[in-house]
């Protein structure tokens, strides 16, 4: 069982433009989709499509459209009731795959809702191999909540993955090693936030065939207690660093249509690979294959196993 927590879920409304976005201009859209989203829900959807047991945990009113969307997709979930509707995020996708996201902050969570979410998560973790804590935190939730959850989950023996940014990420890192997860999934900007590196330089180096700076930045987090760091680098692939070694994966060749959900799909690929007891390089290969497949899909569509190209994801050891 894989359990995901999405404290700030959303209805993801994606509009595909007929030409490059121009500020102040009038645009036509070729298609519009509305799907249940938020990073943890995206992970749960990918895991569900792979046929692995999963449960998404989120706050939402019983009649909220997001729950009807999850029901339609047959994604198992448990929810804590809210008085307000979940947020709606807007994504504009251009013909070349350039993606512009406009995200609402989400409804504020009261203290009792926060407590009930944490309690539900701990209950579900008793049966979980992995618990994935993903995304931003909505108003009302302390920045250090993910760190609190990691400590609360640790006695139950499940593995914990965290994918977040900004204040929640920095608050989590401030409590390493006690709150260090088994997997941390930063992108280049988040890796830079944590280590003081330059995000653009990290991606440029990896794209030029030198993932060393990314590996060194990730290794500094492993040395602080994180079990594994998988840093996603867009078109430059991803690096994985564990206490046993470091690897870089070049992605399969794809035509990028939308980057929405690519990082979430990578997380899903990694935890799925771990449940299959794959070695670290193969976990990275599956993660990158999932992320690349997501990038090749339009809008907020997420990949299914038959859309993966694992053979073209090239993994090599980095010393």
Closest CA to 87 of 7, 141, 140, 10: 10
CB 230 within 8 A of CB 284: yes
CB 151 within 8 A of CB 118: no
Residue 241 CA from chain centroid, whole number: 18
Catalytic annotation present for 112: no
Q: What is the 3-state secondary structure (H, E, C) of 163-211?
A: ECCHHHHHHHHCCCCCCCCCEECCEHHHHHHHHCCCHHHHHHHHHCCCC
Bond prior to 110 in cis (omega within 30° of 0): no
Write phi, then psi, for 211 (nearest 5 degrees): -80, 5
Q: Give the C-alpha separation, 159 to 182, whole Å.
A: 6
CB 280 within 8 A of CB 240: yes
Closest CA to 103 of 167, 19, 39, 199: 39
- Out of 63, 264, 282, 306, the active site residue is 264
Residues involved in catalysis? 264
């Amino acid at each position: 069982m894989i359990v995901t927590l999405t404290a700030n879920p959303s209805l993801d409304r994606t509009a595909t433009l007929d030409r490059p976005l121009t500020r102040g201009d009038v645009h036509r859209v070729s298609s519009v989709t509305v799907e249940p989203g938020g990073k943890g829900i995206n992970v749960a959807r990918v895991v569900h499509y792979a046929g692995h047991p999963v449960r998404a945990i989120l706050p939402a009113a019983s009649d909220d459209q997001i729950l009807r969307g999850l029901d339609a997709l047959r994604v198992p979930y448990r929810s804590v009731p809210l008085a307000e509707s979940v947020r709606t995020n807007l994504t504009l996708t251009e013909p070349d795959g350039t993606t512009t996201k406009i995200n609402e902050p989400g409804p504020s969570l009261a203290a009792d809702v926060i407590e009930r979410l944490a309690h539900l998560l701990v209950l579900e973790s008793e049966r979980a191999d992995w618990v994935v804590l993903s995304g931003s935190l909505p108003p009302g939730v302390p920045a250090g909540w993910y760190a609190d959850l990691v400590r609360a989950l640790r006695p139950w023996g499940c593995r914990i993955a965290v994918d977040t940014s900004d204040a929640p990420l920095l608050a989590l890192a401030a409590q390493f090693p006690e709150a260090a997860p088994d997997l941390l999934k930063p992108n280049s900007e988040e890796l830079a936030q944590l280590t003081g590196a330059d995000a653009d330089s990290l991606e440029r180096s990896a794209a030029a065939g030198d993932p060393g700076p990314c590996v060194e930045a990730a290794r500094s987090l492993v040395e602080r207690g994180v079990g594994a760091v998988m840093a996603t680098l867009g078109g430059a692939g991803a690096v994985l660093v564990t206490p046993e070694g470091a690897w870089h994966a070049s992605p399969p060749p794809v035509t990028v249509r939308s980057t929405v959900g690519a990082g979430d799909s990578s997380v899903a690929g990694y935890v799925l690979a771990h449940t299959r007891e794959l070695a670290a390089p193969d976990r990275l290969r599956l993660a990158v294959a999932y992320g690349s497949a997501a990038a090749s899909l339009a809008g907020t569509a997420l990949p299914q196993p038959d859309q993966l190209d694992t053979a073209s994801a090239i993994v090599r050891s980095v010393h």
